[in-house]
Amino acid sequence: MLETGFHTYTRLADDPEAVTGTVGRPASGLGLRLIDEHGRDVPPGGEGEIAADGPSVHLGYHKNPAANAELFTADGWFRTGDLGQLDGAGNLRIVGRLKEMINRGGKKFFPREIEEILYTHPKILHAAIVGVPDPRLGERNCLCVIPRPGQRPGLEEVVTFLRNDVATYKLPEMIEIFAELPFTPTGKIQRHVLVRQVLERRAGQLTPP
């Protein structure tokens, strides 16, 4: 991310699995920790928010003390907002964004793990799972897809495709087909925009003719 600069990388001698499945280890002189919501280090092997320190990390947001207070720990580590996990060799695997977490009936998960499986579906070109507000469960899982040309995947076949690899509470409960998804200039899906688009669509479906 821009705020941390060039912070981690894989090495030529690294195992191929580490090269393809992680973002590597910190560069010399740069610090990296995984912390919980209270700023404490998580146990080895656990998932936590990625915090960075070192000369590559920005000094703070200009004239925005509120953001600086929120995103820097008391001892000066920058909270990236990304959730990660370290393997035994110290390689960092990014699990997801904290803001992307879906909370369905108290069970929380990150959509990235399901989306990575969906990219292997023969009918799906792009996929994003978002949490749509629900009065009973808090959020329900909505799958938004751009299908491959000439294809139109249905909810039932997608659920069947995922069922053996994904816990039931993570499965899509609705599906929306899009011609395009809202991406940022850096290629990240704007999930808050996508949620709004889904709600607008569904509100239109409920509007009497």
pTM of the predicted structure, to 2 decimals: 0.72
What is the C-alpha to C-alpha distance for residues 140 and 172, in angstroms, rounded to an integer? 8
Q: Tokens representing 52? A: 């960075």
- Over residues 14-43, the pLDDT tens digits come to 999 999 999 999 999 999 999 998 899 999
d(CA 63, CA 50) in angstroms, rounded, equals 24
Tell me how far apart the alpha carbons of residues 191 and 129 are, in angstroms, rounded to a whole number. 9
Domains in the chain: boundaries: 8-95, 101-206
Which pLDDT tens digit goes with each residue over 59-94?
A: 999 999 999 999 999 999 999 989 999 999 999 999
Length of the chain: 209
Cross-strand bridge partners of residue 103: 108
CATH topology of domain 8-95: Luciferase; domain 3 (2.30.38)
- Mean local confidence (pLDDT), 176-190: 91
How far from the centroid of its chain's Cα atoms is residue 118's Cα?
A: 14
Question: pLDDT grade, residue 207 (50/70/90)?
Answer: very low
**What letter would DSSP give residue 135?**
T
Q: What is the pLDDT of residues 113-163, one digit of tens each?
A: 899 999 999 999 999 999 999 999 999 999 999 999 999 999 999 999 999
Instruction: Give me the sheet containing 138-147, strands edge to edge.
Output: 124-134, 138-147, 174-177
CATH of 101-206, one of 3.40.47.10, 3.20.20.70, 3.30.565.10, 3.30.300.30: 3.30.300.30
- With CA atoms as reference, report the closest residue to 118 among 92, 85, 157, 84: 157
